[in-house]
Amino acid sequence: MGEVDESFIQAVEHRPKLAITEAEGIPLINLSVFNSHDLPSNPSSIETLVEEIRDACKNWGFFQVINHGVPLEKREKLELASRKFFAQSTKEKLKVRRDEVNPQGYYDSEVTKNVRDWKEVFDMTVKNPTVIPASHEDGDNGLKEVVNRWPEYPSELREAFEEYAEEMEKLAHKLLELISLSLGLKANQLSGFFNDHTSFTRLNHYPPCPIPHLALGVTRHKDAGAITILAQDDVGGLQVKRKTDGEWIRVKPTPQAYIVNVGDIIQVWSNDRYESVEHRVKVNSEKERFSIPFFFNPDHNVMVEPLEELITEQGPVKYQAYNWGKFFATKKRSNYKKLDVWSNDKYKSVEHKVMVNSEREREACEEYAEEMEKLAHKLLELISLSLGLKANRLSGFFNDHTSFSKLVHYPSCPIPHLALGISQHKDAGALTILAQDNVGGLQVWSNDRYESVEHRVMVNSEKERFSMPFFVNPDHNVMVEPLEELITEQNPAKYRAYNWGEALCNQKAKYFQDA
Ligand SMILES: O=C(O)CCC(=O)C(=O)O
Ligand SMILES: [Fe+2]
């Protein structure tokens, strides 16, 4: 993870600011009342607590809890085991790596929103085994059991995790009761969804990062489950998007506290009374950071939908029901495959070459190409003149030209904000005539007077698009180099000569490899 790979670089608008707003922060809630045994005798203090939970869920979607009842030793035992595990060599860690069949275990290449996270993780389900759908496909009702992988070292990891998970389960149920009450429901109204729950715990390790201004430990995201309970160390880095103004707010580490946030499932159950809030993790160049989120997720067969009691005339149903297990299986799978989905498939499906076979179509192509050739020669003459050269100075390069036309189809794309029809690039040839012409390899001949400019194609979620670029390319044996007339003392040759035919072959070869 030491070297900086381009896949880690965040888009400009998502890069973390170095100075971040230090606001009053997310609410800190004391759970001591709820943990005392004489609960029924103290109804008013419970009411105050429920009120605090309601305000925190509404206004922030995040809060911290203290006096939560989780013994510190149990947390420290797991934190220590986590440090020991991650301190091993990559080779050791990869022995317990996750794979497509079993998503539990180690991995260091998670991708959130198409950018790699600067972290490595180790996942363990609370129920061992955990039952989930065998496949993400709708018709398939098969189930499978997911089991945890345990590393050889540290040998105490398993026990530390199991003890910790038991505590997390208790705390999660308490929080679920408080959230139910805060929504005006019975305390145990939601508990039934968690009999065979699919919760898991993750050990996160964020190594020091040489480019903390360009990358993130975890890209902005929302948690998909019901509730997340996070233990963070004293380094800090978690940032929460403030609902009032969209500003990223740092969650200051509070010793021994847990950070709690409501996930997408609570948002749906509550029919938008509570929202799952975006958060992300900033990394830093000096210190490594460790955190342990516990993701409290319902049974695989739960249909997630707004709760009847929370549907009113003013607030009608906002979500369609979905099966949690299927959703979970899809998410796990797409997480595992994300790099493929966004890169290979994107190019494969987006740039179709259309085969032209019927006679009429062939004729249409030839007639069009003839017109393009005429136009290309006119444009070359104009460009020559504009460079102060004779009109026909470049024509000789195009006697046996290698120009070609392409029919491109961009199907409508469900993720136009993530994918591109064509990634940014420059055209290698001399000229490209699309709807408008643009200057390609002329940059070399003109010795940089004209520059070949980067461009890209956006796609759109509703409409497909077709285009027909005509690439004006010289003969295969032309040596491309700055024209003598354009080399001066102030402006010496900027490029070495290269053989166009070879360049074209390399480009094509690269193209076919990519596809
Ligand atoms: O490490 C953290 O502070 C948060 C991690 C997180 O948000 C996640 O894993 O979903
Ligand atoms: Fe998260």
Which residue among 64, 209, 228 has the greatest number of ligand 1 atoms within 8 angstroms of its CB, and so is best to mutate? 228
Determine whether the shortest distance from the Cβ of 132 to ligand 1 is under 6 A.
Answer: no
Q: Which residues pair with 230 in a beta bridge?
A: 259, 293
Q: Which of 475, 375, 491, 452 is nearest to 483 (CA)?
A: 491
Residue ID of nearest Cα to ligand 1 atom 8: 293
Ligand nearest to the CA of 276: 2
Q: For the whole model, what pTM was predicted? A: 0.66
- DSSP letters, 202-258, are EEEEE---S-TTT--SEEEE---SSEEEEEE-SS--EEEE-TTT--EEE----TT-E
Determine whether the shortest distance from the Cβ of 26 to ligand 1 is under 6 A.
Answer: no
Distance in Å, CA 110 to ligand 2 centroid: 13
* Two tokens, residue 178: 């408080």
Ligand nearest to the CA of 217: 1
Determine whether the shortest distance from the Cβ of 218 to ligand 1 is under 6 A.
Answer: yes
Q: Which of 198, 206, 201, 263 is nearest to 83 (CA)?
A: 206
Determine whether the shortest distance from the Cβ of 474 to ligand 1 is under 6 A.
Answer: no
Determine whether the shortest distance from the Cβ of 204 to ligand 1 is under 6 A.
Answer: yes
Sheet holding 105-107, edge to edge: 28-30, 62-66, 258-262, 227-232, 289-296, 200-206, 120-125, 105-107
**Predicted pLDDT at 504:** 74
Determine whether the shortest distance from the Cβ of 283 to ligand 1 is under 6 A.
Answer: no
Rounded CA-CA distance 495/291 in Å is: 52
Determine whether the shortest distance from the Cβ of 230 to ligand 1 is under 6 A.
Answer: yes
Distance in Å, CA 332 to ligand 2 centroid: 15
**Predicted pLDDT at 335:** 47
Inter-residue contact 274 to 59 (CB < 8 Å)? no
Ligand nearest to the CA of 222: 2
251 CA: nearest ligand 1 atom? 3
C-alpha 480, offset from chain centre: 41
**Predicted pLDDT at 326:** 86
Determine whether the shortest distance from the Cβ of 413 to ligand 1 is under 6 A.
Answer: no
| ∠ CA 438-444-448, rounded to 5° | 80
Distance in Å, CA 225 to ligand 2 centroid: 10
Show me where the domains of the chain are located.
55-341, 359-512
Which residue among 113, 123, 202, 204 has the greatest number of ligand 1 atoms within 8 angstroms of its CB, and so is best to mutate? 204
* Two tokens, residue 134: 């065998």
Residue ID of nearest Cα to ligand 1 atom 1: 291
Residue ID of nearest Cα to ligand 1 atom 10: 223
492: cis peptide before it, omega within 30°? no
Rounded CA-CA distance 183/274 in Å is: 9
* Two tokens, residue 164: 């910790």
**Predicted pLDDT at 53:** 97
Determine whether the shortest distance from the Cβ of 120 to ligand 1 is under 6 A.
Answer: no
Which one is the CATH code of 55-341: 2.60.40.10, 3.40.50.1980, 2.120.10.10, 2.60.120.330?
Answer: 2.60.120.330
202 CA: nearest ligand 1 atom? 9
Tens-digit pLDDT profile for the chain (515 aa)? 445 666 676 766 676 665 555 556 899 999 998 877 655 566 788 999 999 999 999 999 999 999 999 999 999 999 999 999 999 999 999 999 998 788 899 998 777 666 788 999 999 999 999 999 888 777 888 999 999 999 999 999 999 999 999 999 999 999 999 999 999 999 999 999 999 999 999 999 999 988 888 889 998 889 999 999 999 999 999 999 999 888 899 999 999 999 999 999 999 999 999 999 999 999 989 999 999 999 999 999 999 999 999 999 988 888 888 889 988 877 665 544 332 222 222 222 222 222 234 556 667 777 888 888 888 888 889 888 988 889 888 888 888 888 887 777 666 666 655 566 666 667 778 878 775 434 444 566 676 777 776 666 666 666 666 777 788 888 888 888 888 888 888 888 878 788 888 777 766 544 433 32
How are beta strands 62-66 and 28-30 bridged, if at all? parallel
Residue ID of nearest Cα to ligand 1 atom 3: 238
Distance in Å, CA 261 to ligand 2 centroid: 9
Ligand nearest to the CA of 218: 1
C-alpha 430, offset from chain centre: 37
Inter-residue contact 29 to 257 (CB < 8 Å)? no
280 CA: nearest ligand 1 atom? 7
Distance in Å, CA 232 to ligand 1 centroid: 9
232 CA: nearest ligand 1 atom? 3
Q: Which of 69, 8, 10, 75 is nearest to 294 (CA)?
A: 75
Distance in Å, CA 282 to ligand 1 centroid: 10
Judge if 55-341 and 359-512 fold alike in CATH terms: yes
Q: Is CATH 2.60.120.330 correct for 359-512?
A: yes
* Two tokens, residue 446: 């003109």
Determine whether the shortest distance from the Cβ of 232 to ligand 1 is under 6 A.
Answer: yes
Which residue among 238, 254, 331 has the greatest number of ligand 1 atoms within 8 angstroms of its CB, and so is best to mutate? 238
| ∠ CA 165-167-168, rounded to 5° | 60
C-alpha 23, offset from chain centre: 27
**Predicted pLDDT at 192:** 96
Determine whether the shortest distance from the Cβ of 223 to ligand 1 is under 6 A.
Answer: yes
**Predicted pLDDT at 480:** 86
Distance in Å, CA 465 to ligand 2 centroid: 37
* Two tokens, residue 253: 């580490």
**Predicted pLDDT at 412:** 61
**Predicted pLDDT at 183:** 97
Determine whether the shortest distance from the Cβ of 306 to ligand 1 is under 6 A.
Answer: no
Cβ neighbours of residue 41 closer than 8 Å, sequence gap 6 or more: none
